[in-house]
Structure 1
Amino acid sequence: MSAHASSASAYLGHLTHPITGARVEEADAYLPTAVDGGHVYAVPDYDLDGLRGLETTDDPGLFRYRPLLPIDGGPVVSLGEGGTPLVPLPRLGADLGLPGLLLKDESRNPTWSYKDRLAAVAVTKAVQQGRDTVVVSSTGNHGAAVAAYAARAGIRCVVLTLASAPLAMTTLMQSYGAVTLAVEKPTDRWLVMRELVQARGWVPMSGFVGPPAGSNPFGVEGYKTIAYELHAQLGGVPDAIVAPVAYGDALAGLARGFEELVALGMSTQVPALIAAEPFGPYEDALQHGWRPTAAQPAGSTVAFSIGSPMATWQGWDALSRTGGAAASAGDDATMAAQRQLAGLEGLFLEPSSTVAVAVLPELVRRGTLTADQRVVVLGTSTGLKDVPTAASRLPETPIIEPTVAALDAAIAG
């Protein structure tokens, strides 16, 4: 990579609709277009011809990749996000027959989740547009990340959440200064958000339409930087990436990031992207095609932040064009994967993240993943965000007499 104090942006200042090819101006970017009963966001457009490879700058955090982000040359809102480690998983990989298994540990970001990448770019864009308020619908990581970056930027953040959101999550949102309000029904948040976006000009940081479309189209570009980092860390690209998926924001960003590496002449292939999910809407979409109103039976799940019964067009498209796949796992497998990852590799991630570990045996059984591949699991957030769920599956800590004999007896069980 070449490093420069400054570099011209490849962003063209407008977006392109990924289905119709129509040009979309920034002023219209926050409202997704209705397509065949569903919704699809436009995608920021770039001219890569003027770049000399993957140029970087001296900007903080993921903004070192400023030339390939949809922002101008003004100030950025950063907390030092990105640059997360790629951790080999030798013991877990040996158990699964995947010796090349690794984990991109996004829990090392400032608010301990990969949502910081979206929030950094989306809040920066809002500030550069002169907006003073951002609004987000979230029960967890997304809301916490946006609240933190809005605080960093000095603008107002309003979070619409649910009464069932974990205490750790709402505590983070409120601690970062966000106006945090709960409603009873998930879709009620979207109704309020749409009015705020249309009538007041507040910038949406998350989705707010049904059927779902995804999140802020500028923010989704932040996930491209995971692809750039993986290329640098591996000296190439992996064969496959297994990621927890709800509305497909990270999938869409990853696919575009790897495709840009090909366009820049830095890679000859794009990894297969694989969705890990609780209820299976992407499995269904890959089998039957994307149908915007198709919904899978769904209930409560320990992986609550990705518990969507519906697939988005952007997620399905990313899986389809990378030759990817999807697999699902229930609560017991997800919690067992959390304990396995922590006990074997020393990594404690939240259930919504360990779904991506829980589906690995099934992907190996199908032959989707094989022993000769480099496979990266996207570890999206720390398990400390939802300690009660983990604790509920663990035995109580025994109280013993302060003797070695009592300790030996307790260990012997």
Structure 2
Amino acid sequence: MTFFTKKTVCVACGHEVSGDEIFEGCPKCKERGISANLSTKYDFSGYSQKELKDIYYNAPKAKGLWTHRAFLPIDDDIEPVSIGEGNTPLIHCKSLGKALGLKNLYIKNESQNPTWSYKDRLAAVGVTRAKQEKAVAVTVSSTGNHGAATAAMCAAAGIPCVVFTVAQVPQTMKTLMQSYGASVIVTPTMEDRWILSKKCVKEKNWYPLTGFLNPSIGSNPYGVDGYKTITFEIFDELGELPDYISVPCAHSDGLYGIWKGAKDLVETGITEKQTRMVAAEVYGSLKKSLELHSEGTVAVPTDGWSVSFSIGGGKATHQGYMALKESKGLAHYSSDPETMEMQLLLGRHEGIYAEASSVTSLVVIKKLVDEGKIDPNAKIVAIITSSGLKDPATTAGYLPEVPVIKPEIGSLKEALEKYYHVDLL
């Protein structure tokens, strides 16, 4: 049921755009020097609250994120592309919460998706849309997660997939993308990926699941709606929206999509509770933009390759800024040492090994609580976007050497004390 989907509009000014131009961003904002993505617009008018609640709660049951198909931009006659994404666990982190001084800390563990990241949601909806539009090929520019998710969905859909990436991306990520049958191509620079992708979209009619503009506007607007289902699942499990949802951010597809889900729930009358979005960054573009009340997002200096390479951008997108502005949200950043410390804390307290960029969502919550901007008693959900197994080599650099010992109790005692600082014998 796609009767809610009406049009595609600019996230900033509301200007309507249609056809192939939707991947070029808003032309009106471009004239003002602002790079803004487009977003699907849903119209819930003409339905009573009872009807809307019935559609939400009593829709024909499907697996994973397709449970909420009525709120996704796919025609009724299109069979969804799916490999089991969605329905990831929401975990009350009592041990980690106690260590951080937070009583109601939850994580949404998106590493439990089939390719181990929340990008599976965007890719499932985006590739299904590509199937609907009879795409000859799908292309993405990615440092790993987005490319892996798209490659897997394209494999399931039988659509060729080409991923443009860069040399610095861990070999694990490249192998993962290739394992799903994608043609993975390394370009000299980040910008070169976008140049090639744009040429293929404009000249060869390939279907893009990521943006190809510089500065970036964000990804495919249809795919971004896949992230709305994260919010729906959080709401369904908690019985209400939380006070805050913290999301790792670069191009802010996840931040904006999750916020769209919250808006849908309020606009349909399913809830009256407002949630506030929190952006977790590496360098602080959204934080600076909020401080300056900037109409366009602000570029900030970067210091090279970050352990959080999945979100390591120095300029945020306007869709991220709008999610924070509309939700009265907050933003902060996480340094590499802070990130790696939190990665190990999460593992040791909750038994979850998350990708470095994922745990920035926890770092910034702790910072904002310490600064008095978030009540430590607030109900908070931090999004864990991906698995640490995407880049184990980086984590290994922050861990002790694994000792080789003689099969003797004395040797074991010495190793435990020297390498792990524990006295168990």
Class of the TM-score when normalised by the shorter of the 2 chains: over 0.9
Identify unmatched segments of 5+ residues in structure 1: 1-7
Q: Aligned residue for 1:252? A: 256
AA in 2 matched with 1:21 = G
Counterparts of 1:291 and 1:18 in 2: how far apart (Å)? 12
Q: How far is 1:410 from its partner?
A: 1.8
Counterparts of 1:43 and 1:361 in 2: how far apart (Å)? 31
Cα-to-partner distance string for 1:328-356 (whole Å, 9 max, x where unaligned) = 11111100100000011101001111112
Q: How far is 1:282 from its partner?
A: 0.7
Sort the Cα spacing of 1:229 and 1:293 in 2 relative to 1 into closer, same or farther, 3 A.
closer
Counterparts of 1:276 and 1:61 in 2: how far apart (Å)? 26
Counterpart of 2:35 (choices 33, 39, 46) is 39
Q: Aligned residue for 1:188? A: 192
Identity rate, percent: 41
Counterpart of 2:65 (choices 62, 65, 85) is 62
Q: Aligned residue for 1:138? A: 142
Q: Secondary structure at the match of 1:242?
A: strand
Q: Aligned residue for 1:127? A: 131
- Say whether the 8 Å CA contact 2:11–2:319 is kept in structure 1: no
Q: Secondary structure at the match of 1:147?
A: helix
Q: Which moved more, 1:400-409 or 1:27-36?
A: 27-36
Counterparts of 1:80 and 1:250 in 2: how far apart (Å)? 19
Q: Aligned residue for 1:305? A: 310
Counterparts of 1:197 and 1:11 in 2: how far apart (Å)? 28
AA in 1 matched with 2:15 = A
Q: Aligned residue for 1:3? A: none
Q: Secondary structure at the match of 2:151?
A: helix
- Say whether the 8 Å CA contact 1:11–1:44 is kept in structure 2: no
Counterparts of 1:261 and 1:394 in 2: how far apart (Å)? 43
Counterparts of 1:240 and 1:12 in 2: how far apart (Å)? 27
What number of residue pairs does the alignment pair up? 406
AA in 1 matched with 2:69 = R
Counterparts of 2:41 and 2:8 in 1: how far apart (Å)? 5
Q: Aligned residue for 1:5? A: none
Counterparts of 1:71 and 1:20 in 2: how far apart (Å)? 24
Q: Which moved more, 1:256-265 or 1:16-25?
A: 16-25
Q: Aligned residue for 2:423? A: none
Q: How far is 1:63 from its partner?
A: 1.2
Counterpart of 1:395 (choices 380, 400, 422) is 400
Counterpart of 2:165 (choices 149, 158, 161) is 161
- Say whether the 8 Å CA contact 1:30–1:203 is kept in structure 2: no
Cα-to-partner distance string for 1:101-121 (whole Å, 9 max, x where unaligned) = 010000000100000000000
1:339 is aligned to 2:344: yes
Q: How far is 1:292 from its partner?
A: 4.1
Counterpart of 2:91 (choices 87, 90, 94) is 87
Counterpart of 1:316 (choices 321, 325, 336) is 321
Q: How far is 1:14 from its partner?
A: 2.6
Counterparts of 2:106 and 2:318 in 1: how far apart (Å)? 28
- Say whether the 8 Å CA contact 1:277–1:355 is kept in structure 2: yes
Q: Secondary structure at the match of 2:261?
A: helix
Counterparts of 1:64 and 1:127 in 2: how far apart (Å)? 19
AA in 2 matched with 1:67 = A
Q: How far is 1:41 from its partner?
A: 2.1
Q: How far is 1:13 from its partner?
A: 4.7
Q: Which moved more, 1:87-96 or 1:286-295?
A: 286-295
1:98 is aligned to 2:91: no
Q: TM-score, structure 1 length as denominator?
A: 0.95
Q: Secondary structure at the match of 1:198?
A: helix
AA in 1 matched with 2:109 = D
Counterparts of 2:19 and 2:74 in 1: how far apart (Å)? 11
Counterparts of 2:310 and 2:360 in 1: how far apart (Å)? 11
1:28 is aligned to 2:21: yes
Q: How far is 1:23 from its partner?
A: 2.6
Counterparts of 1:182 and 1:292 in 2: how far apart (Å)? 31
- Say whether the 8 Å CA contact 1:38–1:212 is kept in structure 2: no
Q: Aligned residue for 1:235? A: 239
Identify unmatched segments of 5+ residues in structure 2: 419-425
Q: How far is 1:293 from its partner?
A: 6.7
Q: TM-score, structure 2 length as denominator?
A: 0.93
Counterparts of 1:246 and 1:170 in 2: how far apart (Å)? 20
- Say whether the 8 Å CA contact 2:9–2:38 is kept in structure 1: yes
Q: Aligned residue for 2:266? A: 262
Q: How far is 1:412 from its partner?
A: 2.5
AA in 1 matched with 2:114 = P
Q: How far is 1:241 from its partner?
A: 1.1
